[in-house]
Amino acid sequence: RNMERDMRDTLARGEFELHYQAIINAGSGEPSGFEALLRWHHPQRGLIMPAEFIPLAEETGLILPIGDWVMRAACSEAAKWPDDLKIAVNLSPAQFRSKELVSTIVGALANSGIAAQRLELEVTETITMHDSEAVFAALDQLHGLGVRIALDDFGTGYSSLSLLQKFPFDKIKIDRSFVNALSGTNEESRLIARAVVRFATSLGKTTTAEGVETGEQLAILRAEACDEMQGYYFNRPICAAEVLKMMHRHV
Ligand code: G
Ligand code: G
Ligand code: MN
Ligand code: NA
């Protein structure tokens, strides 16, 4: 497969890129951290988004070295930021099949010098579908080191209540499909947002709404006491240099 060969070459040359999207504290309106999002600038095909190449990376096992690169690059970049800012990194279910996941993450933290508490791992509930004992052990070990764990895309899959009880999630990210439906005239979507926030809060977990695009959605989520917001209303994913520029404007 040409795409697989191209992916290997890109990885070997260190030419993947991370973009970063701010996660905004609903109270202060300031970023509490950034989510790292993988990008591939293909020499012929231009910018390729993760949805187009992560499935192949998972099939071929390349997600393991790519995931290692992402973890190291994201932690090293975060080391340049004020140390109250977190870095969120997405993990594929396939990465949990590697025995090296915990040591890779510990290595990336040590190498960058950032505190474990600044790293947040975003996982979807599909990680629990295969060998959930091994996944639990890895998450529990990382959580014990101070790494934060977020349940991504909440509400889209088969999230069960027992999953939330069993796994050490610190945060629930409300999927953007729910946020997208929020408007002053859609009472039902507001009730769903309210229920999810209350449910998560009562379990001691924080909530982040993804895909916030309008001031109206922001106002509703604030009124429902959602802790954090993320979306095009605040900013699009931006490159590392732009993040640094943005920070200089703020200090
Ligand atoms: O903006 P965007 O197209 O970047 O992200 C699409 C999807 O790709 C998201 O669901 C996100 O979880 C996933 N994704 C983005 N970056 C990474 C990454 O570094 N690793 C993994 N495993 N998934 C990622
Ligand atoms: O699945 P995950 O939440 O990790 O993926 C994040 C994805 O959502 C990325 O593809 C990112 O570019 C995209 N995204 C971030 N903010 C918005 C938004 O406000 N609207 C839409 N439609 N997509 C968004
Ligand atoms: Mn995510
Ligand atoms: Na998501």
Minimal-distance CA residue to ligand 2 atom 12: 237
ipTM value: 0.96
Domain count, the chain: 1
| Burial grade of 212 (CB within 10 A; 0-12, 13-18, 19 or more) | buried
Give, for ligand 2, the residue of 19, 92, 230, 232 to mutate: max count of ligand atoms closer than 8 Å to Cβ.
232
Mean pLDDT, to the nearest integer, of 2-12?
93
Q: Does 214 fall in a domain?
A: no
The answer on pLDDT for 184 being more than 80 is yes
Pairing status of strand 171-174 against strand 31-42: unpaired
Domain contains 120: yes
| Residue 126, in any domain of the structure | yes
pTM of this structure: 0.96
Domain residues for 236?
A: 2-158+231-246
Predicted local distance difference test score (pLDDT) of residue 249: 81
Both tokens of residue 151? 């349940």
Using 50, 70 and 90 to split pLDDT, how confident is the model at 116? very high
> Residue 76: inside a domain, yes or no?
yes
Q: Which of 20, 21, 54 to mutate to test the pocket of ligand 2 (most atoms within 8 A of CB)?
A: 21
Structure tokens at 69: 């690169």
Contact 75, 43 (CB under 8 A): no
The 10s digit of each residue's pLDDT in 15-37 is 899 999 999 999 999 999 999 99
Q: Is residue 79 part of a domain?
A: yes
In a domain, 42, yes or no: yes
Report the atom number in ligand 2 closest to the C-alpha of 37: 9
215 domain residue, yes or no: no
Where residue 36 sits, what CATH number does that domain have? 3.20.20.450
pLDDT at position 251 over 70: no
Q: What is the pLDDT of residue 1?
A: 60
Record the tokens describing residue 188, joined without a space: 């039902």
Pocket lining: 70 vs ligand 1, CB cutoff 6 Å = yes
Residue 40 included in any domain: yes
